[in-house]
Structure 1
Amino acid sequence: MPIGLYIHVPFCIKKCLYCDFTSYPLSGPAVKSYLESLIREINLYGSALADEDKIITSIFFGGGTPTTLPAASFKTVLNAVRSSFFLAAGCEVTVEANPGTVDGAGLTELRQAGVNRLSIGVQSFHDRLLGVLGRIHSAAQAVQAVQLARKAGFDNLNLDFIFGIPGQTNHDWREPLHRAVEMAPEHIAAYSLQLEEGTPLAQAAERGAICACPEETELTMYRDAVAFLTAHGYSHYELSNFARPGRQCAHSLVYWLNQPYLGLGPAAHSLIKGVRFANDISLAGYSDMLSREEYPVENRTRLTAADEISETMFLGLRLTAGVDLNQFYRRFGRRAEDIYRNEIAGLIQKGLLEISEGSLRLTTKGLPLANVVFREFV
């Protein structure tokens, strides 16, 4: 079965104040060890997996900050992937980029290496708010990064934005959306800021140094984004994602459709043949295991049929098209309407779900209350 391939690049120049992802300070020796280990891991899976499980439909370099790596390293890694796996026709190859870590020459090298989609972490066009988030780039650098990406030949760009930042007003949010649309990226992601436990930003909120954005303001910002972006030709295809026709993120759809994926690199997660497994989060542990030709896996969990059904429901409901009920039946041999009869009936009665054109999906009322809906299927 075709799979998505995720490659975790665990380095940052400086960790953002809201981030709880696995990342480490950038250093030459650490990068060298990581890249050597990553190539070993690619080769290890390439030798072990059956041919039918090595067809790659999408590749996503996430982080951390992938663009802290030397641009030439992407060619090396992608060549190793091509040697060990089979890339499907039209394979989407995405690299996440921080505007403070890119230049024209590096982006041109990425494009020539086979990267065909760039996801730029703009987050805001206000330097004040970028400072609140602890970002290393300025608004001017974000604008320049988009211009450089176009000049380098990228015709598939995503711009990431965050709303609900402490101190952010509705005007602060609307104005960047206007600027984003003027730049005409193929894809825009708009995420609500999550104050994750243990992060510096969450700790600042706990001690009263900053005030978390009120829920009512966040809701207004979300609705403004949906109304504005859909009015300007972007399809709202997932809770936080908007795309021009045919430009949905293929790799993210692998997750939302609960399809198999392989994760490489420290802390990367995988789902293959009903087994979820996660790599060692430490650089040392990851590299040490691979130096012994061992899989750098820290834990494995075999999913039950009930697990797979549950995850297919709440992940699929993230998509505005919802869960295709006929596809669900073909996959599991059971009707979702029977398995979740009471839950679905109750949520439809509350106006949060609807069945339309053979799919179960969130209503307009249900979109901002998605987590309430998802809990019914866990």
Structure 2
Amino acid sequence: MLKAAYLHIPFCVQICHYCDFNKIFIHQQPVDEYLQSMKKEMIHTTTRFKNYEMETIFVGGGTPTALSEQQLQTFLGDVNEVLGNRSLIEFTVEANPEQTTKEKIAVLKANGVNRLSVGVQAFQSSLLKKLGRTHNKEDIYSTVAEAKKAGIDNMSIDLMFGLPGQTMEMFKESVDEALALDVPHISSYSLQIEKKTVFYNLAQKGKLVLPEQELEAAMYEYLIEALDKKGFKQYEISNFAIPGFESKHNLQYWNNNEYFGIGAGAHSYVEGTRRRNAGPLKQYMNLIEEHGFPYIEEHQVPLSEKMEEEMFMGLRKGEGVSDATFMSRYGRSMFDIYKEPIQRLIQKGWLEQREDTLVLTKDGRPLGNEVFQEFIGVVLD
């Protein structure tokens, strides 16, 4: 039974220089009309696909907190009306510090939001400016304090490393500052240069100077050690939590479970089919009006691809991939299907077997993408 939904708010007050997600500058956009289209998509989706019982909802973007208080109230009310139920245990909204006011936090809390994912990225003004971020350190402190005061204690902080001009001292300071905020979850990612971003254009012109790979690797190693000392468990390659505060929604993805995807550019995985929604606002809204659904791509996932995804999604997790779970889903052992790549990766020291489970080793974690490639395209007997 499907238990998760992702909802996409594409609007931003400022476009970050590294972001390749589906987003649009909010000024003079048809925000209210878009929210109405999202409600229609929710209704049509739950009418067509009835085998669901929501346990987790995640609202991402873009910047959900770019919405006004009234727009947030309308949107969250619609979400609760269509998707909400007593089974809901985690309701997350992404929040940018400079736009997450005391009043907006009150709206979030009143509508059942019980987790915030705060886009911090760094604590140094110089780095934030290079990233195209418009918040400062004081905004971060204020957002976290106001959320706690409102009773939202379950928060995650996003940090980035490998940034242009970022030194090890800067990253250590950011990790220390994040820990001082006393939140139970930290996500940390290295900068990836994606097409259609400011950073990509700068890199093409030779104007983007990034830290050496050795320094980036050292930052990641420091992150793991520093958070471990403070009681954070690395339960996924880039995610760390005080036990009990793992992201239940993101675990739905890493456990290769199905989910609804609502909104412009959103992806869904329902009844064995992956679907992609139209990204441009006008196209998305027109498709909703004309056809009820905004799909521009549908892919029935074959068995071989499901098994590949089970491996490389599951190996992202600290607990790895269980052969018992694999066999219950696909009727065969992963040690049979992937015998050769598993043996190669174990010999390289990137994978280890713990009873019936495969996990990335300490050396394998920074090389996750190389490990995952080994499971793609294996011919089934």
Tell me the CA shift for residue 28 of structure 1. Answer: 5.3
Partner residue, 2:374: 376
- What SS does the aligned partner of 2:170 have? helix
Corresponding residue for 1:110?
A: 108
The residue aligned with 2:20 is: 20
Cα drift, residue 2 of structure 1: 2.8
Q: Deviations over 1:292-345 (max 9, x none)?
A: 352111110001000100011001000011001111111110000000000000
Q: Are the aligned partners of 2:10 and 2:62 in contact in 1 as well (CA < 8 Å)?
A: yes
Deviations 1:102-127 (A, max 9, x none): 11111111111111000000100000
Deviation of 1:84 after TM superposition, in Å, equals 3.1
Paired position in structure 1 for 2:379: none
4+ runs deviating over 4 angstroms: none
Tell me by how many angstroms 1:78 deviates.
3.6
Work out which of the residue numbers 215, 218, 223 in structure 1 matches 2:216: 218
Query: Does residue 1:101 correspond to 2:66, yes or no?
Result: no
Measure how far apart 1:272 and its partner are.
Answer: 0.5
Partner residue, 1:277: 275
| Greater Cα offset, 10-19 or 140-149 | 140-149
| CA shift in 2, pair 1:29/1:196, >3 Å | closer
Once the 2 structures are TM-superposed, how far is the Cα of residue 178 of structure 1 from its aligned partner?
1.0
Distance in 1 (alpha carbons) for counterparts of 2:65 and 2:76: 15
Pair 113,83 (structure 1): closer, same or farther in 2 beyond 3 Å: closer
User: Deviation per CA, 1:125-145, whole angstroms, max 9, x where unpaired?
Assistant: 000000111111112212221
SS at match of 1:87: coil
150-159 or 41-50: which moved more?
Answer: 41-50
Aligned-pair RMSD on alpha carbons?
A: 1.3
Secondary structure of the structure 2 residue equivalent to 1:377: coil
SS of residue in 1 equivalent to 2:87: strand
1:155-198 Cα offsets, whole Å, 9 max, x none, are 10000000000110111001111111111101000110111123
8 Å contact kept, 2:41–2:288: yes
**Corresponding residue number in structure 2 for 1:141:** 139
C-alpha separation between the residues in 2 aligned to 1:133 and 1:26? 19
Measure, in 2, the Cα distance between the counterparts of 1:266 and 1:102: 23
CA-CA distance at 1:45 after TM superposition: 1.5
- 3-state SS of 2:195 partner: coil
Determine the structure 2 residue equivalent to 1:3.
Answer: 3
State the alpha-carbon separation in 1 of the partners of residues 114 and 288 from structure 2: 29
- Which string of whole-angstrom CA distances, capped at 9 and with x for unpartnered residues, describes residues 230-255 of structure 1? 11010100000000111000110011
Question: Displacement, 1:205?
Answer: 2.3
1:364 corresponds to 2:358: no
How far did residue 88 of structure 1 move?
A: 4.9
- Deviation of 1:210 after TM superposition, in Å, equals 2.5
Question: Could you say which residue in structure 2 is the equivalent of 1:204?
Answer: 202
- Give the counterpart of 1:237 among 231, 235, 240: 235
Hey, what's the Cα distance between the residues in 2 that align with 1:143 and 1:82? 29
Corresponding residue for 1:321? 319
Q: Which deviates further from its counterpart, 285-294 or 350-359?
A: 285-294
One-letter amino acid matched to 1:121: G
Q: Secondary structure at the match of 1:158?
A: strand
Q: CA deviation at 1:203?
A: 1.9
**CA 1:295–1:96 in 2, change beyond 3 Å: closer, same or farther?**
same
Distance 1:216 1:9 in 2: 36
Q: For 2:271 and 2:323, how far apart are their aligned partners in 1?
A: 22
> Partners in 2 of 1:9 and 1:353 — Cα distance?
38
Q: Is the 8 A contact 2:53 2:87 kept in 1?
A: no
Instruction: Verify the 8 A CA contact 2:163 2:210 in the aligned structure 1.
Output: yes
- Percent of aligned pairs with the same residue? 38
State the TM-score, normalizing by the size of structure 2. 0.96
Q: Which structure 1 segments of 5+ residues have no match?
A: none
SS of equivalent to 1:89:
coil
